[in-house]
Structures are given as structure tokens and as C-alpha cells.
Amino acid sequence: MSVRLLRVSLHGATFHGHSSWPSTAPPWNLLLRTSKLGIIHSKLPIMSMALHNQVVPIQDECSTKSLEQVKRKIQEALLNSDPLGTLKIIDTIQQLGIGHHFEEEIKALVGRVFDYDTVHDLFATSLHFRLLRHNGFPTSSGTIILIALWSGNFKESLNKDIWGMLSLYEASYLGAEDEEVLHKAMDFSKAQLHNAIPQLGPQVSMHVARSLILPRHLKMAKLEAKNYIDEYSHASNQILALLELAKWWEELGLVGRLGFGRDRPGECFLWTLGIFPEPSYSNCRIELTKTICILLVMDDIFDTYGSLDELVLFTEAIRRWDLDAIEQLPEYMKICYMALYNTTHEIAYKIQKEHGQTAVAYLKRTPYPRLFSCSGEILRLWDDLGTSTEEQERGDNACSIQCHMRENKISNENEGRKHIRELIGKLWQELNGVAMNTNLPWSIVKASLNMARTAQVIYQHGDDKSTYSVDDYVQTLLFTPSPKN
């Protein structure tokens, strides 16, 4: 998948659908207009389904009032809690996927300097540090150093504080390349948590184990929200208003008016949910899904169908971005080129009409910021981890795994895969550093981070069969409602 799609989509990120769908009154009956051919009852494979565009939520005045009442309850909880309680609520709001409703409050409260006892409270300081960086504040890792270091080594006494250790572990994944203390914090906390699991209760051990498999910073936000809603339903200290609002969002569904080709629209739409999870980007998700569908066809052309001479011509035609350039292309490439060309200009026209900006000219002349290319490299490497086995069976060209094995005379593929995962870890550190120091809007930074996170969700099953498949994730996000009780 080309990094170009991110650049196209970022220009379209100002497309807005409904910024806040109204809630329906209890018992959360959602009024829908649906086709007689229900998606859930279809026997077609999930990935081959065209998502129906007939599902439309019905709005009414009562629904809007209900939503506003819930939001006020959460705002009151944010303003009336102690500093640590406020941070916990913010963390929960964002994990439930409803942070977009409280962006102003979150920015103001997270950015405030709280007077914690930094000598002892590992949990609070690590949580505050993680929330600061997660929300775009380029804070120093010095607070972590004050807590976690003693004469250059991490305090062994901290290993008894499981929640503090888990908080430190989660915070360490937001470190940049040159922040050695956070790299040490990651290694130390990971080892302590692994050792502690056998002594923990079933719920806590499951929570820790899940974090060790994939930390919060690397998770796809929309999928994490879905999982957390189910888990949060059983929490003893839950804030009912949060759960109420999060479930309401889940029951609305994420069906847009999508026009798909013959490829894998479910998977394509999953990409867009990962990159732009906020409801206000509904139109952007629609346009980006179309682009990804075309890019998947292009990927098949490069991997399987095109000859080297044809691919050189095709690449040059895209680089020129001129209809005259397609005259030398074979017919099947002309069809794909025109699909990409027309779709891109349709998106650009909408941007021009709504916002007065010329996107195509920008795409032609502007170099890729490292923020985009770094995220794209993570995507590329996860793609290799997830599809290498299948591609080698087809006789496709060598990917990064095989190239590394050949260059270093390695016969064990697991060693090659381990090296690629290490490269991904280093790229994440670089991406964290770039994200902290860029002048680009935070919404664009989040999209780049989200693309790297989503790549792991899409391709991890191909690298580790014990993880969920893309079909599972599509079923979970698009067709499985959250529990109502």
C-alpha cells in the first residue's frame, strides 16, 4: 500500500460528516432503513461483501438531548475529580473511543502540571507522561527518570507495584530514538511483568498479558475501544455515563455510502477505521476506502500480473500524472490508471469545493515528510511479515525478510522475522520522536501514528496464527454489537 494514499487522505481529512450522531432513548432502539438483503445474514465471505449504503440513523430532538445529558455528566466528573482521578477518567474516555467529544477539556486538563509525589507514585507519573505525549505535548522523559532510576538502575522495589509497573511499561512505548531511559524502562518493566503474571489474580493477569502482547500505543484505536467496552462493562469502578455513551456509538454502526469494486471492501474499510476512527471523518473514510481498493489492485499488478517493462511504464505514467502518459500502457493498466486518476481528482474536486484548497498540485510538488514515510516503512515491514509465506509460495519477488537472510547468510526464517520486528521497533522510536517535533497539525500526526498501528492489526495474523484474522476484526467492528447490559 503506497504512502501516497495517506497524503491524499490527509488532504481530505477536513471532510466532515455528522460530528455527533444523536442518541436514541432507552432501550437504545436504533431506527434504521435497511435493505432486505441483510449483511449479517449473508453467506458470502466477509471480505467480499460490499458494505450496504442504505443504513441511515434517524435523528430526533429527544435523541440529541439524551446525548447532551450524558456528555454533561462526564464533563462534571472531569472537573470535580482529584488530579489522579481526572487522569484516569481521561484515559478511560480515550480508550473507549469517545475522546473526540471532550477534546477541549482533555487538552486543558492533561496539559496542567499536577503536583504529584514524584518520588513514589510511579503509576500516576507514568500515566500523566503517557497522556501528555499521546495528546501531542512534547514533554521530557525526566519525570520518569526521577521515579524509575536509582544510581543508574531501575529500583527493584518497584516490581511489587504491578499497576505502576504496567503504567511504566505502557509509557515506555512513547519513547524516541535518543531516550535511552525509556528503552531501559521498557526492558525492565516487561521482564518484571512477565515474572509477576503467575502470582496475579485471573483478571489482572489477563489484563497484563494482553498489554504485553500489544501495548496501548501500538493498538488500533477503534478496535481497542470495542474490546475495552466489553471489558469495562464488568469493572467495579466504572462510570456508567462513559459506558452509556460508548455503547451508544457502537450500536449506531459504521456503515457509509461506499462504492466498491470486486476486491476486499471490508478490509479496505478496516484500514480507514484505523487511520481515521473519529466519527467526524466519516466522509474521509469513504473516499479513502475507494483509494485503498484501487491500490490493492495496483499491488496485485506489481506482485503478480505485470511484466517488468510494463511496470516501468506504469510507474512513469503515475509519476508524470498526465493522461497522455497512458498511451503506451496495456489495456488492463489503462483501466487501473484511469480509476486511480479519476478517483484522485474526484476527491480533489470535493476538497476544492468545500475548502478552496488545490490538493492535486500539492501532491505533485511536495516531498514526503518523514512523519509519513516512517509510518509507511512500518506498514511495509508489517506487510512483509504478514504476506511473505503466501508470496513465496506463489513465486513472487523476495521481500525484506528474504533480502536480510540472503545478505547475512541466514538460513532460519525465524531469525529473519525477528530482525524485521526489531527494525519495526526502531522505526516506532523514530516515529515517536518525529511526532513530538513536527509542525504539522496534531490531527495529521495522529493519522500517521494510526496507519502504523493499523498495519500491525491487518498483517499480524500472517506472522502469528494465534492472533485474530482480518475477517475476525471486520466481524467484530462492523457486525458484532456490544452487550447492552
pLDDT of residue 453: 92
pLDDT of residue 125: 82
User: 304: pLDDT confidence band, cut at 50, 70 and 90?
Assistant: confident
pLDDT of residue 11: 33
Using a cut of 0.85, tell me whether the model's pTM lies above it.
no
Which of residues 238 and 163 earns the better pLDDT score?
163
User: 145: pLDDT confidence band, cut at 50, 70 and 90?
Assistant: low
| 3-class SS string, the chain | CCCHHHHHHHHHHHCCCCCCCCCCCCCCCCCCCCCCCCCCCCCCCHHHCCCCCCCCCCCCHHHHHHHHHHHHHHHHHHHHCCHHHHHHHHHHHHHCCCHHHHHHHHHHHHCCCCCCCCCCCHHHHHHHHHHHHHCCCCCCCHHHHHHHEECCEECHHHHHCHHHHHHHHHHHCCCCCCCHHHHHHHHHHHHHHHHHHHHCCHHHHHHHHHHHHCCHHHCCHHHHHHHHHHHHCCCCCCCHHHHHHHHHHHHHCCCCCCCCCCCCHHHHHHHHHHHCCCHHHHHHHHHHHHHHHHHHHHHHHHHHHCCHHHHHHHHHHHHHCCHHHHCCCCHHHHHHHHHHHHHHHHHHHHHHHHHCCCHHHHHHHCCCCHHHHHHHHHHHHHHHHHHHHHHHHHCCCCCHHHHHHHHCCCCCHHHHHHHHHHHHHHHHHHHHHHHHHCCCCHHHHHHHHHHHHHHHHHHHHHHCCCCCCHHHHHHHHHHCCCCCC
| Domain regions of the chain by residue span | 68-249
362-406 pLDDT, tens digit each: 777 767 789 999 999 999 999 999 888 777 776 667 788 888 888
Residue 357 has pLDDT above 90, yes or no: no
pLDDT of residue 19: 31
Which of residues 387 and 311 earns the better pLDDT score?
311
Q: Which CATH number is 68-249 given?
A: 1.50.10.130
User: 111: pLDDT confidence band, cut at 50, 70 and 90?
Assistant: confident
Residue 253 has pLDDT above 60, yes or no: no
pLDDT of residue 244: 40
Choose the weakest-confidence range: 4-8, 238-242, 275-279, 406-410: 4-8
Choose the weakest-confidence range: 300-314, 410-424, 456-470: 456-470
Choose the weakest-confidence range: 1-10, 161-170, 326-335: 1-10
Residue 275 has pLDDT above 60, yes or no: yes
Choose the weakest-confidence range: 7-16, 153-162, 341-350: 7-16
Provide mean pLDDT across the span 335-344: 85
